[in-house]
Structure 1
Amino acid sequence: MSQKTEIPEHTVSVNTEFGIKSALHVPAFSERSEYVPALDEAYRFDPEVTLSLLAGFAHNRRVLIQGRHGTGKSTHIEQVAARLNWPCIRVNLDGHISRLDLVGKDTITIQDGLQVTRFQEGVIPWAMQRPMALILDEYDAGRPDVMFVIQQILEQDGRFTLLDQNRVLHPHPYFRIFATTNTLGLGDQTGLYRGTHSLNHAQLDRWNIVSTLNYLPAAQEEAIVLGRVPSKNTEQGKHDIQAMVALANLTRQAFSVGDLSTLMSPRTVITWAENCTLFHDKRRAFVVSFFNKCDESEQNLVKELYQRCFNEELVPSDATA
């Protein structure tokens, strides 16, 4: 990374850049690097979550975003970074991520025909020495040994000790850290997020800002789907998308009262709309996008919800697609 991008060179207006009524100005970089996410012009920002993230970027606050799957938590962080030209890197804390992946390990390389042992930095020491936003995805799915490594950098000074190297790393002034989680570290009572864990409350306490990203109002969700699937931007297409979002909201309501064990996320609605352009049949696209994921005992209820929104039934040939 070139020297001129080590610090933000200017500020951007929150009101102008994000369409949120605020007098705040946030530091931003003038040039884009390979680590800056691609800009999505159709993305719609949630005002409260956006302000929380901007506080993290501007004032070095540790920000944790909680919400159901498909609400766009990670994408929200990336799109804020994209408009600030702020480099960022995402790490998914699945069961395969180990302490060595985060901290680093000794590796053997060949130099001048000889085997040489060198320490290869993990993602944490690499990122924290740069003006970089580190995004920890699926934070509540991390293994205990991994979580205690992360706890070091959640301290206010953020110093990180490399025991194997007898080194103490100090974070770059514009290193930032964010995380996304489905359950807020209290465990999963619904069965929807298997593999998640209860988090150490001492660690949760180290997050300065915790914000919740809920599903968007229907009109905004419809606009997002239209933005992602422009071929649906016709009178009939808009009518279909309105019904799709209405059906998605009914599945979410049924899930909240225990009538369904799964729900349609905004991501599912976008996938359904995209599959409509492939199959040229919204019923068949619905079956392969969502219906086949439902428990067999709940499929009759899903059929009823579909009929309520589209005023047509799923026929047996559709349901066996």
Structure 2
Amino acid sequence: MTHLVSVRDVFGIDTDLAVPALTEPDEHVPEVDPAYRFDRAVTLALLAGFARNRRVLVQGLHGTGKSTHIEQVAARLNWPCVRVNLDGQLSRMDLIGRDGVVVRDGQQVTEFQEGILPWALQRPVALVLDEYDAGRPDVMFVIQRVLEQDGKLTLLDQNRVIAPHPQFRLFATANTVGLGNLNGLYHGAQKLNHAQIDRWNIVASLDHLPPQAEAGIVAARVPDVDADLIESMVAVANLTRAGFRVGDLSTLMSPRTVITWAENVTIFGDVGLAFQLSFLNKCDDAERPIVAEYFQRCFDRELDEPPVRVA
């Protein structure tokens, strides 16, 4: 069962739109993060996906919170949400299903075990395909038919056709929108054919939050850290993101990393040591002087010699 909720009341977006929300509780509904800040354009795109059954692809650099954005919209709509990572290890059988041996009445019998795709299709579930542009070709062609708005899934081995549940929704996240690893930032990203991309009704782009909004989230999560200190921490994070875009760094600070850094400040009592343990020690040795310079520029102090690395 569904009921309508106000987008203005639930998401804080100035619009008169109302969208359906599910009424039945489910273990797959994500938990609501009350400190989460919604991007207006991406939120409206995702709400169109939930309300009008549009296929929505969210593109952006890693660390921008693409999957989390989908989960938080689903959480506020009480919509079950399941994420599947399309890494190189996910096979067609993992997605569709395979024959497996089960025990029935004390006898071992072979029985077809559904994969995640037919399982989700038959339920009121928002299926999120993470790292969509890293999927294997055989997996992508399975997904292609389901991308149609009324896309049915044919299980040839079972001689069965599965029609999607009325509340089934399909989303995806990607770093490159199917253009491949053009700038060398995302190894393993595949070029997708135009037929794949064309089947996504809506493509939204998500960037990192504005500094003030990100600082507000960190402050809400870690209220014991001084606001001015958090602003400097977010400034360091944005410098790492700019360095990543131009190829100076091979990694960047996500909002999650900034929150971890702030939490570690409360543990160690020193912003420099917490920075080393939260981010610097994850960086390549050749890139650490660049990251240390970012820290110096934002805090007007040098990083001390790094402590012994903790395994």
Q: Same fold (TM over 0.5)?
A: yes
Name the CA distance, whole Å, in 2 between partners of 1:15 and 1:132.
Answer: 24
Give 3-state SS (helix, strand or coil) of 1:32's partner: coil
Contact 2:94–2:116 (CA<8 Å) still a contact in 1? yes
Name the CA distance, whole Å, in 2 between partners of 1:115 and 1:263.
Answer: 51
Counterpart amino acid of 2:143? Answer: I
Q: What displacement does 1:319 show?
A: 8.8
Counterpart amino acid of 2:24? Answer: E
Which one of the candidate residues 23, 33, 37 is aligned to 2:30? 37
Counterpart amino acid of 2:220? Answer: G
Match of 2:102 in 1: 109
Matches within 5 A, 1:223-302: 223-232=216-225, 237-302=226-291
Contact 1:287–1:319 (CA<8 Å) still a contact in 2? no
Give 3-state SS (helix, strand or coil) of 1:180's partner: strand
**Pair 1:18-2:11 in alignment:** yes
Contact 2:49–2:55 (CA<8 Å) still a contact in 1? yes
Q: Which runs of 5 or more structure 1 residues have no equivalent in the other structure?
A: 1-6
1:32-58 per-position Cα deviation (integer Å, ceiling 9, x unaligned): 211111111111100000000000000
Match of 2:120 in 1: 127
Match of 1:138 in 2: 131
1:254-297 per-position Cα deviation (integer Å, ceiling 9, x unaligned): 33333333322222212211222232221111112222233333
Q: What displacement does 1:318 show?
A: 5.1
Match of 2:292 in 1: 303
Match of 1:76 in 2: 69
Contact 2:276–2:306 (CA<8 Å) still a contact in 1? no
Corresponding pairs, count:
310
Q: Which runs of 5 or more structure 2 residues have no equivalent in the other structure?
A: none
Matches within 5 A, 1:174-185: 174-185=167-178
Name the CA distance, whole Å, in 1 between partners of 2:82 and 2:36.
Answer: 19
Q: What displacement does 1:320 show?
A: 6.5
1:101-159 per-position Cα deviation (integer Å, ceiling 9, x unaligned): 11111111111222222111111111111111101111111111111111110012211
Normalised by the size of structure 2, how large is the TM-score?
0.95
**Pair 1:90-2:83 in alignment:** yes
Q: Choose 309-318 or 33-42, whichever is displaced more.
A: 309-318
Q: What displacement does 1:315 show?
A: 1.8
Give 3-state SS (helix, strand or coil) of 1:268's partner: helix
Contact 1:35–1:87 (CA<8 Å) still a contact in 2? yes
1:189-217 per-position Cα deviation (integer Å, ceiling 9, x unaligned): 34332222111221111000000010110
1:1-42 per-position Cα deviation (integer Å, ceiling 9, x unaligned): xxxxxx31x100101110001111101112321111111111
Counterpart amino acid of 1:272? Answer: W
Normalised by the size of structure 1, how large is the TM-score?
0.92
Counterpart amino acid of 2:275? Answer: F
Give 3-state SS (helix, strand or coil) of 2:224's partner: helix
Give the CA RMSD over aligned residues. Answer: 1.6
Give 3-state SS (helix, strand or coil) of 1:230's partner: coil
Match of 1:4 in 2: none
Name the CA distance, whole Å, in 1 between partners of 2:284 and 2:97.
Answer: 43
Q: What displacement does 1:306 show?
A: 0.9
Q: Choose 141-150 or 269-278, whichever is displaced more.
A: 269-278
Name the CA distance, whole Å, in 1 between partners of 2:8 and 2:241.
Answer: 32
Counterpart amino acid of 1:271? Answer: T
**Pair 1:62-2:72 in alignment:** no
Counterpart amino acid of 1:87? Answer: P
Contact 1:283–1:318 (CA<8 Å) still a contact in 2? no
Give 3-state SS (helix, strand or coil) of 2:192's partner: coil
Name the CA distance, whole Å, in 2 between partners of 1:162 and 1:60.
Answer: 23
Contact 1:37–1:81 (CA<8 Å) still a contact in 2? yes
Name the CA distance, whole Å, in 2 between partners of 1:256 and 1:101.
Answer: 34
Counterpart amino acid of 2:267? Answer: L
Matches within 5 A, 1:149-228: 149-228=142-221
